Amino acid sequence: MSDIFIAVGALVVLSLIFGAVLGFAAIRFKVEGNPLVEQIDALLPQTQCGQCSYPGCSPYAEAIANGEEGINKCPPGGESTIQAIADLLGVEPEPLDAEHGTEKESAMVAVIREDECIGCTKCIQACPVDAILGAAKQMHTVIESECTGCDLCLDPCPVDCIDMLPINGGLPAWHWDKPGQIIATDATNNANEGKAA
């Protein structure tokens, strides 16, 4: 009979000790993390394009944090952003919601065809990051380094003189690609697939 008491007593003592250790760790090693909204916002591309149907990245981040919105509504961020948010929230990554747009292959920048610009300032008002420079009846121009490529200036332009061009960084932006995966494998894979198809 006394064995049982000893066992129970030992377990109680153990649980108390471990409880104390855990309690201490919870306080001592408390992670002073950012609030979730800020963490999600930091992962979003900050194009402020509104393609997610929210007026900017941070409202969307808030909506995600509140569980009101899926994580797959950000076309500029694309798969990598979805993956990052999924990692952060510990949820399954979903494919990009095509309703909100598709991921572009390379970063874009808006360029005004300056001889066609009539100086209506409508694009200036539409730009979420104030990256368009100009005055009424003066030609406008885009500050390329600040443009997020959000497309928001395209619709308001009455003469359609804004183009979205892929950014070409030239030599300074060039870097080596990842080497092809095990070459033999890929070659054979493709060959096999080719045969299958």
Write out the residues near another protein by the rule CB under 8 A: 33, 39, 41, 44-48, 56-58, 88, 107, 121, 124-125, 128-131, 133-137, 145-146, 148, 170-171, 173-179, 181-185, 188-189, 192
Between CA 51 and CA 150 the distance in angstroms is 8
Residue type (1 letter), 30: K
Between CA 121 and CA 99 the distance in angstroms is 30
C-beta of 100 vs 141, nearer to another protein: 141
Closest CA to 149 of 128, 170, 135, 134: 128
Distances in Å between the Cα of 34 and the Cα atoms of 22, 38, 39, 41, 61 are 23, 6, 6, 11, 13
Q: Compute the least distance from the CB of residue 166 to another protein, in Å.
A: 15
Q: Compute the least distance from the CB of residue 67 to another protein, in Å.
A: 19
C-beta of 53 vs 192, nearer to another protein: 192
C-beta of 15 vs 190, nearer to another protein: 190
C-beta of 73 vs 140, nearer to another protein: 140
Q: Compute the least distance from the CB of residue 119 to another protein, in Å.
A: 9
Question: How far apart, in Å, do the first and last CA atoms of the chain sit?
Answer: 75
